[in-house]
Structure 1
Amino acid sequence: MPDDDRGTVIPPVSVRGVVIHADDAQDVRRQKMARIILDSMYQFLGLLDVDGTVLEINQAALDGAGLSLQAVVGKPFWEARWWEVSGEVRQRVREMIGEARTGRFVRCDFEVFGDLHGSRTIVIDFSLKPILDDDGRVAFLLPEGRNISEKIASNAELSRKNGELQAALERLKELDSYKTRFFANVSHELRTPLALILGPVDQLIKDSENLGERERFRLAAIQRNARALLQQVNNLLDLARIDAERMPMAYVHADVVALVRDVAAGFEAAAEDRGITLRVLGDTELYADVDRGKFVRVISNLFSNAFKFTPTGGRMVARIEGLARERLLVSVQDNGPGVPDALKQPIFDRFTQGGDSLGAAGSGLGLNIVKEFVELHRGTVVVVDAPGGGAVFQIELPLRAPDGAFVRMGNGRETVEMPPVDVALPELPTPANSHSQLHKPRVLVAEDNPDLRLFLHDVLADEYNVTLCEDGASAFQAALAAPPDLIITDLMMPQWDGERFVRALREEPRFPNVPVLVLSARADDALREHLLEELAKDYLTKPFSAQELRARARNLVTVKQTVDILQKELNSQASNILDLTAGLVESRQHLQRSLAALQVSDRRWIGLYENTTVGIALADRDGRIVLANPALQRMLGYGREEIVGVSLIEITEASQREMTKRNVHGLFEGRLPNYKVQKRYVKKDGSYLWANVCASGIPAFAQDGPMLAVILEDVTQRMAAERSLATTRNELARVARFTAMGELVASISHEINQPLSAVITNSDAALRWLSHASPNTEEVAAALKRVNRDANLAGAVISRIRTFLRAGEIRREAVDVGRMLDELLQMLQVMLAEVGVNVRVDLPVDPPCAMADQVQLQQVLMNLIVNAVDAMRDLHEQERTLIITVATEATGGLIFTVQDNGSGIAAGTENRLFETFFSTKQDGLGMGLAISRSIVENHGGRLWLDTRQQPGACFLFTLPDSS
């Protein structure tokens, strides 16, 4: 063994079986080095002579097939273990050697024995490259292969997923057409009951001489809001006709200036009441080929929209002028808040409104109707900013109808039925206030809808002194001038919304702690929790009953008065409270001094802290970073100095900030020992970081207060893959819900017809009582209450349908299982009655409550119930029984059972029931059970078939305890 200059013996080095000695000649050393490189670089690399005899093979290829170099050197290449997959593969390799020896580069994909010492096959990208000598002749062949098994498997899986998604999308298009026809049919059917509501109410108002002022006010509110509902039904019908391409154009050669002036005349009285200046400018006369009814509807909707956002004392201007190239321009301008740039395009989409900041209200169909009708005229509509503030809606139309269209000549100033003016103005004065009494509590009401504002006054005036305000700004001034005992406020209002109004009051240092009751049509759990935690004492969702409102108001006022009495007593004992405060401060200082024994981390912790790939941070009680390791700096994109002071709460995604704030406060307040959560952070560059977060509290040390220790694991790539899968799953779930709704049209129609039939019956009864010589007003009032109740029931059915058809991710909320089952069985009652199924529901003595997505839970149960009913259709002379059982598990979760006595599951299909697109029904889509299992598993549960239950089929699924 050779020595170095100092006499030290240099040992040989062995790498992958190649031994390098210190005394190796230079060319030998280079050959050994090349061997090491080739063995390490390639998955398959070798050298053959021109006849295909093996000269060299790298170690990676030998290890994959479980061979030694001696076993293959000197033998034909195609006879080696790699190619024993089939005779065809051997023959093809031999043919490639024949092609390569002629000087051609050949390449092909092969399945070969190349993994686990030749016991498993892989797919390789294999090539043969001829190596030429100095004279240009082929001297050697160079075989090379790369493992592409994972790539091929990924491509195959992607192709399969794309195929499934394409099939689902095609089905979704078909179901969307069913949805359009369904809503058109429902809207059409609603026109008759609405006519039967409006007719009797109009007659009652006409014959209301013997009714009191309150009764006349209530009838007027019913009439006004029924007309508004009829207008929305007409909008839905028009959109359905447009979608079905069945909206005809009845062209007439008319003076469009006169039509615009006629529409403006319908708004003059309302404009005068609010002090709004309304002007029509431009040409005095301009004839064009238009569909008179649709053109008037477009102009009326634009006027109504401008009127909604024009402030009291503002101005509205309409302008009509002819343009070059046989076109005309109509613009409607207001001086309201204008339309943000981000909304200028989507504001014409269906169900899109001006946004919360504008105090928008309505269905979001008005401007979409404008866009659709303008495009039917082959025109365009845009919105731009008005000079000096506000918005300008501009319509450009051709003056002439398209070639071949029939155009009727107008008959002078021919009248046309004008749409109702959709402006929210009270048509009756405020009901007479009872004389204010000093002993009555004071209630301040902030509500922008005039009818609801007057209704609230009517409900509360007997017990309270009520002050009415139409927006948050005026309510703020009224509250400061005379602090009330209770504030009742809407959320979506012009100028100031309800949240801004209440927050402004809370920021007033001298304003007393007045309870706030929020009234809102937004049934948003996150919003309700946010308001109840920070600003409000109670939250009531519209529609609501007068009795419930009075009860909640009475409770809040009672608590407020009790607190005032206690506060007055405490103020009289201020010296005792000061002594107690001083003692508490002294105790806290002593506690801080006793915790000074904590020590700093040692060097090992510093090394782990600096070099780990997991992000680590220390934060104060406001969630602001005090110290962050390099891994966290890289994750969030901040430098070492600039990350200090960054708030982990503020960079948390908006939807999770309140939860994060509660968790942080819980740690510092000792209510939580630690918590783990998966959440999303906003990085410095604006992109998002998904992370698994573990946080725990660190006690105070020396002069430092308590700290928060946060550990983050970057899971962004994994979440991206999960979101892609979740998107596909949600689309398939929504397809299934549309399928279910198509099958349940008869049930829904039955459920709507019941309350509407009751409305007709009670309206007729009210008319009969009024037709007597001495009208019985008490019976009339009772009948109208029943009309109101049943109309609300019909509205609730439509609301349930829209909720069931909504798209979106899983939303967990407290679900009353008994009530949810009642609603579902009511929806299915026609189908159950048609088949003659007897349903038995077994619930625990105390009805359980589950934390789940109610819509998705209903979908699972609906799929299982519909499958059970279909399985019992063919039973003859035998009772059809469906048993639904809900029981509590020992772990605290719930187990649901759906059992029928039908024909059962066909033998051999049990293992395929939950596969996508597999169905035992002749016309089934095959997604119901697959989607149901996906929904249950997303909730942390399990869905399965119990094959022991006979006869029939028995499906069970569990929901874990999420409390």
Structure 2
Amino acid sequence: MVDVNPDDDICRVAGRTSVRGVVIDAADARDVRRQKMARIILDAMYEFLGLLDLDGTLLEINRAALDGAGLCLEDVIGKPFWQARWWAVSEEVRERVRQMIAEAGTGRFVRCDFEVFGDLQGNRTIVIDFSLKPILDDDGKVAFLLPEGRNITEKIASSAELSRKNSELQVALERLKELDGYKTRFFANVSHELRTPLTLILGPVDQLIKEGARFDERERFRLATIQRNARSLLQQVNNLLDLARIDAERMPMAYVHANVAALVRETAAGFDAAAEDHGITLTLRGEDELYADVDRAKFVRVLSNLLSNAFKFTPAGGRIVCAVERVRRGRVLISVQDSGPGVPDALKRHIFERFTQGSEGLGASGSGLGLSIVREFVELHRGTVVVVDAPGGGAIFQVEFPARAPEGSFVRSGSAADAPLSQELLGPLAPAALPPLAEAARQPGKPRVLVAEDNADLRLFLYDVLSDEYNVLLREDGASAFQAAIADPPDLIIADLMMPRWDGERFVRALAARQDFPKVPVLVLSARADDALRENLLEHLVQDFLTKPFSAQELRARARNLVTVKRTVDILQKELNSQASDILELTAGLVASRKSLQQSLTALQVMDRRWLGLYENTAVGIALADREGRILSANPALRRMLGYGAEELSGVSLMEITDPSQQAMTRRNVDGLFDGEFPSYTLQKRYEKKGGGHLWANVCVSRIPALEEDGPMLAVIVEDITQRMEAERSLTATRNELARVARYTAMGELVATIAHEINQPLAAVITNSEAALRWLAHDSPNLVEVAAALKRLNRDASLASSVIARIRGFLRAGDIHRERVDVAHLLDELLQMLQALLAEAGVRATVELAEPRPWLMADPVQLQQVILNLIVNAVDAMRDQPEGKRSLRIAVTRGPAGGLQFSVHDSGPGIAEESEERLFEAFFSTKPEGLGMGLAISRSIVENHGGRLWLDRSRGPGACFSFTIPDN
């Protein structure tokens, strides 16, 4: 550990400390200690740092530089700097470093970016910001050079990525400008093309209105409606054209020196009719004369748009104040204040953007271009426009601009400012007064039509189209139309989708929710070509849907169809109500039918009680189960058999109470019933009792077809045969014991026979051996007699050995002679050999072979002996089975651990559990006849082949013996 004293700048070291191979000892001199600490600092630095002499020989280098290139200090110290591994990227790099050393030796600071070997122990290059700094001595001469390098690989990569992104952004920006130019030209062209037909509409209409004396009042109303809406469309076209010009920077300023106070008064006068119709107070404030340099047309458009916006949101009975005044530093302030809902704070920043609309709760309509035009024109006047909250509610729009045009601008004289304003620059024309026809009283006999439409012109147009045939009631929003419909239900409702307060969809949903409201057809009008909305409304709420624009003829036809259907339904309902007597007769007939049904029901109940008595009191177990084998109900007899309480069996699966060895078979049988493979089945099976133990039963299972809401079910009939099975097992055990005694008797006889067969040659062997010994004991041995005796001795011993070999051959499998066996061919030969036996026993045998064709390395004779023994045993076991139910299945499959697995499965009575343990013992048999050696010999053969033979209880009823033979 190193301690630094701040007073004398001396490092006090406690003990010894090693840092990066540098050992600092407490006994080190101060200069030595400082040198070691300098080394530690140098090696701890992240960047490349070293020291050169004037010739470029490396005097010192830090560890970061060495580690990056995979170098040791001894590899580079005292050698030319440019020959080190760092600069081995190319000879050009080495030469450039050498030049920089020479240049730095003159006293200049040099710097350059290099790609060097500096990462992964010198196996990967990096880019460094490399510099050489001259170090001067006390005389001002260059004494050393300080090389320094900083890794800027990531910085360069980031710069390259940033440059690429900037290039992509620039391309996208240029493309966006190009598309914006296309859009601007499109708007300009469309606006220009629309102005021509609008001029041809407005010109003749204005001329006809001037000649109004020759038209009746209704025709003058229609002409006024055309004029007003054509001018409204012209104003929207002008807005689009102005925005296109602004975007194209082709909107010049035509300044005039005008009395802006007079322009305000003249523009506001165009709104007097609208103010009177809506009961709105329009007030002007400010000076009588206030001159400024303005573009007259643009100034009037600004003021007209602000006043139109104020009228749009000011409720009936409200007020609007328009003021003009001169403010500081030669500027003019125009303000328009209304008493409407005001502008929400979140909307104030966006209210002057294109296509932005506010106060949606009031159902405001429009294109959202008016205030955007205001901002653009005000900015052309070098002014500003803002919106603030008005005292007491509402909004104040304030426009401020300089009173003088920019220096050098051309300003026309005041005479040009006195020209009258064109009509399209003023406020919109007020809707025409309702013709006297609209105020006529309801005419009896005519159907009633309720119209809900917020646009005054369209509302009056609908009235004009429909009033000849119907009594028309007009409402301007969904809420008031709802109240009118509830108060006096009409014959037809026509509603616009876009309305203030309540829109059309909310209106018709409110009517549909009223249980007491009669079925009145609804025709919806919409300017939205929305197929999804149209289909949804037609499916659930309305009877017809009409998209704007539409013709008067189409509207009349659709209205006539809906009203005709409505009135026809009303007439039919009235006719039905008038036939109460017929309904009474029908009721009497229904009562009689009900009595007959009651009698049938009584008979059915009697049958149910009888069935229930049988179900509850029979000694046979009965259960109903579903498709999954779950028990739905079980009668008392079955519950007693299995030891369950009243409700304990409900929901229990048939597989749960079935012996595990028979569960798979039960599942297959249940599936077969429901799949229609067979209508029923009968078998003997073993159930597990609740408290332990087993129940043997004869079981009959049938499928019950689906009845109404209940699906198909199983009917399970169970007969307890446990006592009978125990008696049969006792009888079988007695028979087996008798057979065992018989076998032991036979074995005694066999042993006696074997003893006789062996004793005879053994006695001869003894006699001949004694004779040979006597001949040899004579003083002069008779070799001829000895040889004859030895030949007889050899003959009798061979005879005894043959007897023993035959016995061993019967008891042992013998040696194995393996060869490649075609299993299919072997089984085919075996079944041909047993064909007579199978036919005599009435057994149907089937063979199932694994794919591809199975081959095996085994002793074919011994393998055939094992299968033959198993087949003969199976045939013997099925002799007591009914004819037609004796089947034998021989299957060959791939073994789980390789090799082949053979299974011989019969349909006989199976193997009793008490016999299973001794099944493979020698001299044990389940048959009255036989010595009981077959399975013992078969197991010995299989085990000599490296396999296993066992009784397989997982294959269902009958007995199944399986054995495996490995590949080697």
Q: TM (normalized to structure 1)?
A: 0.44
Q: TM (normalized to structure 2)?
A: 0.44
Q: Which has the higher contact order (CA 8 A, sep 6+)?
A: 1
